[in-house]
Chains A and B, each alone.
Chain A
């Protein structure tokens, strides 16, 4: 069963903040966040591990609530380059199961 992402889509003005949520019904080893621009490959943003360790992008932050099996990605002071579809993927073994994505559009 794939993780559920919310919202499905969001439109921002440059400089505004956004939060993208990801929840799972399965116990997770790690949560992975990617951004994909139209016609391109998904680009790695962040991994959150059980125990609180994070690996990833300096300008993007995220949280992982292990008890609730939820993760949130925080985009602050958004830039035009943040536009794209954001995917969370959970890893409960050796395979990544991705959510349906959140489409983010940043306007000038």
Chain B
């Protein structure tokens, strides 16, 4: 059984640019959640995708957007990058969108905005 994978591992961008991060969910999982983790803090919920539809969103501006594909893999897009967007971006997949399901995290993408 393949776990959650993310790409790329590291990324350096400059302010104002756009970035796309990718996540492949664990086999059999139809739900992907995205989190932003700043240094020394807990993960902050960005949004969740369930069966290709956005299924909940945290307190993030519209320049954070996402997609989920028919194979349940997902993308996180961030437009007009700001310095504060520098963080570890984690995706987590779960069997369903139920709040009682375990979320399994990928290794993350470290984004640095200069």
Q: Which label, helix, strand, loop or mixed, suits the secondary structure of the B interface?
A: loop
Contact A29 B99 (CB under 8 A): yes
Knowing A94-B48, A95-B33 are in contact, say whether A30-B100 is a contact too (CB < 8 A): yes
Please determine whether A99 and B42 come into contact, CB atoms closer than 8 angstroms: yes
Q: How many A-B residue pairs have CB under 8 A?
A: 62
Q: Give bound CA distance, A97 to B57, whole Å.
A: 12
Q: Does B66 interact with chain A (Cβ within 8 Å)?
A: no
- How many chain A residues touch the partner (CB < 8 A)? 26
Contacting pair B97 A94 (CB below 8 A):
yes
Q: Is B55 on the interface with A (CB-CB < 8 A)?
A: yes
Interface residues of B in 26-43 (CB under 8 A from A): 33, 40-43
Distance in angstroms between the alpha carbons of A105 and B41 in the assembled complex: 17
**Cβ contact within 8 Å between B99 and A93:** yes
